[in-house]
């Protein structure tokens, strides 16, 4: 589901930040303090309260993840911790071998992102620049790959990976997710490349460039910003992906962060501070990525229009 969900949000949030509409700037200047009024403050207050409600669960996880168990028993979940206590977090980290899960997730997400980007670029080159026959149908078929419910693929994939010796290996999951995500990448890149300036291609061709050179020297540099956005999406989606890794990576040693948290055994979901610590461990990498990728996304979309 993340595929359908996350991308537009992240992408457009960046667009919005970078290319502030003239309208908005104009209004910010024009919309002065005098316009705020009492109703303005009331609306702001309501919206701010709603926003705080949205992040309340995060706040709860953070303050309780560091709270000594005794504090929790005495003062409940809302109070601030009297001291920073890392023991619950450390217990969880060690108990589920969280470093290992992080490593698995990074390896899988990183590989999927790169491989899927390469696959997308190659296919989109054929469709958007090469304008091969039947490309509309091809795109439609590719679209099926990223809308089809994974439940309709999982059992056969389960059987096939086993027969190929890829079951319970990172490589198996990487290949499958890379293909599924490249379908989306192809779809998106094709429309970008479809609007590629023909004059430039024509000029290159007159200079005697062949297809491979056009791809490497012209298309790639100009689409790199879009590609970096894609790589970022692929990384985040893969990081958050749950279903296929749950089924295809049964070993504790191969589990990803998402699966490890989603399939937590009772001992870590038993008391509130342990739960908070587990949630916090899951939130931390997501927050880090958000902070890192936000910049990449902005850079990417800023140049991404391929004009």
Partner 1 sequence: MTSLIGLPPRSTGAPVRRSRLLGTERPAGYWLYILPGALGFLAVVLVPFAMNVYYSLTTWSGVGEPQFVGLDNYAQLIGDATFWTSFRNSALFIVAMAVIPTAIGVLLAAVLFDFIAPRFGTRTSSLLRALFYLPQILPIAVAGVLWKWMYQPEYGIINTLLSSVDLDGLRQNWLGDSDLAIYSVMNVLIWLQIGYTVVLFMAGLSRVDPALHEAAELDGAGWWQRFRMITLVQLRPEIAVVLITTSVAALKVFAPIFVLTRGGPGTSTIVPAYFSFSNFFTTTRVGYGAAVATVLAILVTIIAVALLRYQTRTTEGFDDDGR
Partner 2 sequence: MRKHTAVLAAGSLALALGLAACSSGGDTGGEAEDGRTLKVWWWENDDSALSAAWNTAIDIFEEEHPDVEVQFELKTYEQMQQSGQLILDSNDAPDVLEYLKGNATAGVVSKAGLLTDLTDVAAERGWDLDNTAQDVGLYENGLMGSGQRYGVTNYGEYVGLFYNTDMLAEYDLDTPETLEDLEAVMQTFVDNDITPLALGSADYPGTHLLYALALTHMDENSLAAYQQFSGEPDWSAWEQAATTLTEWVDKGYISTDSTGIPAQDSGNAFVAGNYPLFYSGTWWAGSFTSDITDFEWDQVLFPGNDLHPGSGGNLWVVPEKAKNKELAYDFIEITQRPEVQNQLGDLGGVPVAAEDDGVTEPVGKLTTERFNELLSGESGQLAWYPDWPVAGLNDVLIAQTSDLVQGNVDPAQAASNIQAAYDAGKPQG
Q: 28 to 47, contacts with partner 1 by CB under 8 A?
A: 28, 30-31, 35-36, 40, 43-44, 47
267 binds, among partner 1, partner 2, none (CB under 5 to 8 A by kind): partner 2
Among positions 66, 98, 167, 184, the unique one binding partner 1 when judged by CB under 8 A: 184
DSSP 8: H
Work out the end-to-end distance of the chain between its first and last CA atoms, rounded to an integer number of angstroms: 31
Measured N-to-C along each axis, helices 220-240 and 98-124 cross at an angle, to the nearest 10 degrees, of: 140
Size of the site for partner 2 (CB under 8 A): 44
Among positions 254, 256, 258, 273, the unique one binding partner 2 when judged by CB under 8 A: 254
Phi, then psi, of 237 in degrees rounded to 5:
-60, -45
Tell which residue, 240, 248, 102, 82, has the closest CA to residue 165: 248
Rounded to a whole number of angstroms, the minimum distance from the CB of residue 197 to partner 2 is: 16
Q: Which range in 82-90, 96-104, 106-114, 253-261 contacts partner 1 by CB under 8 A?
A: 253-261
Hey, what are 215's tokens? 């791809």
Q: How far is CA 223 from each of CA 89, 124, 184, 219, 294, rounded to the nearest angstrom?
A: 42, 11, 16, 6, 19
292 binds, among partner 1, partner 2, none (CB under 5 to 8 A by kind): none
Give the length of the chain: 307
x-or-dash string of contact with partner 2, 94-133, rule CB under 8 A: -------------x--xx--xx-xx--x------------
84 binds, among partner 2, partner 1, none (CB under 5 to 8 A by kind): none
Distance, in Å, from the CA atom of 63 to the CA atom of 58, rounded to the nearest integer, reads: 9
Among positions 63, 174, 183, 249, the unique one binding partner 1 when judged by CB under 8 A: 183
Q: Which range in 82-90, 95-103, 106-114, 157-165 contacts partner 1 by CB under 8 A?
A: 157-165
Q: How far is CA 244 from each of CA 173, 176, 221, 223, 249, rounded to the nearest angstrom?
A: 7, 9, 33, 30, 8
Distance, in Å, from the CA atom of 305 to the CA atom of 52, rounded to the nearest integer, reads: 34
- What is the CA 182 to chain-centroid distance, rounded? 14
148 binds, among partner 1, partner 2, none (CB under 5 to 8 A by kind): partner 1
Q: What angle do CA 146, 152, 282 make, to 5 degrees?
A: 65
Q: Given the complex with partner 2, which of 43 and 200 has the nearer CB atom?
A: 200
Q: 136 to 175, contacts with partner 2 by CB under 8 A?
A: 158-159, 162-163, 165, 167-171, 174-175
Rounded to a whole number of angstroms, the minimum distance from the CB of residue 251 to partner 2 is: 6
251 binds, among partner 2, partner 1, none (CB under 5 to 8 A by kind): partner 2
Residue 211 is a binding residue for partner 2 (CB under 8 A): no
């Amino acid at each position: 589901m993340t595929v359908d969900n996350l991308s537009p949000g992240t992408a457009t949030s960046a667009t919005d930040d970078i290319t502030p509409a003239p309208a908005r700037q104009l209004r910010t200047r024009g919309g002065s303090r005098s316009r705020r009024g009492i109703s303005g403050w009331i609306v702001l207050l309501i919206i701010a309260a709603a926003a705080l409600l949205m992040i309340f669960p995060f706040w709860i996880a953070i303050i309780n993840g560091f709270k000594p168990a005794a504090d929790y028993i005495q003062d409940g979940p809302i109070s601030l911790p009297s001291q920073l206590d890392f023991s619950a977090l450390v217990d969880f980290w060690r108990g589920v071998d969280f470093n290992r899960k992080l490593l698995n997730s990074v390896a899988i997400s990183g590989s999927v992102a790169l491989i899927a980007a390469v696959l997308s670029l190659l296919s989109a080159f054929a469709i958007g620049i090469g304008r091969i026959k039947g490309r509309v149908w091809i795109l439609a078929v590719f679209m099926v790959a990223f809308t089809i419910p994974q439940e309709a693929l999982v059992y056969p994939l389960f059987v096939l990976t086993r027969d190929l010796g890829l079951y319970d290996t990172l490589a198996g999951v990487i290949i499958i997710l890379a293909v599924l995500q490249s379908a989306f990448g192809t779809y998106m890149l094709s429309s970008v490349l479809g609007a590629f300036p023909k004059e430039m291609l024509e000029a290159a061709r007159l200079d005697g460039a062949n297809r491979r050179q056009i791809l490497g020297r012209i298309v790639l540099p100009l689409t790199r910003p879009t590609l970096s956005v894609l790589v970022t999406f692929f990384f985040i989606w893969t990081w958050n992906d749950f279903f296929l890794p749950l089924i295809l990576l049964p070993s504790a040693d191969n589990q990803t962060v998402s699966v490890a948290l989603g399939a937590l055994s009772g001992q870590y979901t038993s008391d509130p501070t342990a739960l908070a610590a587990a949630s916090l461990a899951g939130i931390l990498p997501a927050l880090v990525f958000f902070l890192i990728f936000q910049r990449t996304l902005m850079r990417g979309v800023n140049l991404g229009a391929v004009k």
